[in-house]
């Protein structure tokens, strides 16, 4: 029985953990939990999650703000016998301030771009050789309506939104540059994660409107049926509809 190998960044909490739980519960899956501190309690707790028949979990260190982490993680995986990746979900990201452009601190913009853009590029460059060894490789960037251009939301979000618009562009090019790869952006909705709820409170809401369970269940359905012809180089909502950029 062939194994499906999935790597998820930011996998120790929030959406990353929610997706990891679903894949790990499936049979014959190797699920790689990439996060910035595999020794942290939230990472170690992942080893207690239910596991499908023939499935197993691997923890690797990938700090999205560290240029060398992703490459070192891939070296570790290769040493452990991982010879391909079928799916990479670039989920790790930050959002901690929501300024107008006129109030934007360049240091905040740089921090968001380093993690949300550079971190995705470093992860892609490190994992793409293993991805392209798969018979059906898929790359998913967890995106957001905050990065829309055509239907830009009327709300201040100059640090996070800018970084997400950039990474949406990069994902579209990944799909265009590799004939074998299905690469697309998947928006989870405004979710009840630590980051999502913090943002919701900043805009006067008690919490974000979408549960992690609802979002992850929808996202995994989209990923399962995604083909390059229909889904590649596009942006999709967790409910399954194509979104404008």
Supply the pLDDT for residue 24.
98
Helix (H, G, I), strand (E, B) or coil at 14: helix
Supply the pLDDT for residue 244.
93
Supply the pLDDT for residue 203.
75
Q: Kind and range of the H or E element at 242?
A: strand 242-243
Supply the pLDDT for residue 194.
67
Q: What does the pLDDT profile of the chain (245 residues) look like in tens digits?
A: 689 999 999 999 999 999 999 999 999 999 999 999 999 999 999 999 999 999 999 999 999 999 999 999 999 999 999 999 999 999 999 999 999 999 999 999 999 999 999 999 999 999 999 999 999 999 999 999 999 999 898 999 999 999 999 999 999 999 999 999 999 999 998 777 767 767 778 777 778 777 888 999 999 999 999 999 999 999 999 999 999 99
pTM, rounded to two decimals:
0.94
Distance, in Å, from the CA atom of 232 to the CA atom of 34, rounded to the nearest integer, reads: 24
Known catalytic residues?
160, 164
Tokens standing for 236?
């999709």
Q: Which domains does the chain have, with CATH numbers?
A: 4-243 (3.40.50.720)
Cα torsion through 195, 201, 206, 210, rounded to 10: -40
The model's pLDDT over 192-221, given as tens digits with 9 standing for 90+, comes to 776 776 777 877 777 877 788 899 999 999
Tokens standing for 3?
């194994």
Distance, in Å, from the CA atom of 184 to the CA atom of 155, rounded to the nearest integer, reads: 25
Q: Nearest 5°: CA angle at 183, between 22 and 64?
A: 70
């Amino acid at each position: 029985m062939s194994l499906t190998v999935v790597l998820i960044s930011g996998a120790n909490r929030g959406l990353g953990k929610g997706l990891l739980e679903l894949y790990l519960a499936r049979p014959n899956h190797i699920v790689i939990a990439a996060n910035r501190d595999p020794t942290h309690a939230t990472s170690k707790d992942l080893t207690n999650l239910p596991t499908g028949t023939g499935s197993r979990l691997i923890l690797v260190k990938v700090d999205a703000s560290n240029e060398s982490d992703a490459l070192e993680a891939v070296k570790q995986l290769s040493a452990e016998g991982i010879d391909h990746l079928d799916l990479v979900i670039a989920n790790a990201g930050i959002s901690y301030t929501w300024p107008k452009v006129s109030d934007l601190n360049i240091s905040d913009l740089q921090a968001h771009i380093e993690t949300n853009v550079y971190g995705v590029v470093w992860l892609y460059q490190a994992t793409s050789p293993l991805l392209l060894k798969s018979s059906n490789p898929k790359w998913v960037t967890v995106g957001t309506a905050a990065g829309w251009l055509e239907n830009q939301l009327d709300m201040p979000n100059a640090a996070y939104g800018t970084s997400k618009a950039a990474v949406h562009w990069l994902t579209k090019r990944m799909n265009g540059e590799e004939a074998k790869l299905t690469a697309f952006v998947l928006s989870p909705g405004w979710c009840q994660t630590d980051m999502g709820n913090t943002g919701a409170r900043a805009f006067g809401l008690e919490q974000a409107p979408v549960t992690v369970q609802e979002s992850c269940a929808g996202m995994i359905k989209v990923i399962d049926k995604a083909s390059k012809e229909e889904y590649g180089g596009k942006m999709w909502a967790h409910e399954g509809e194509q979104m404008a950029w």
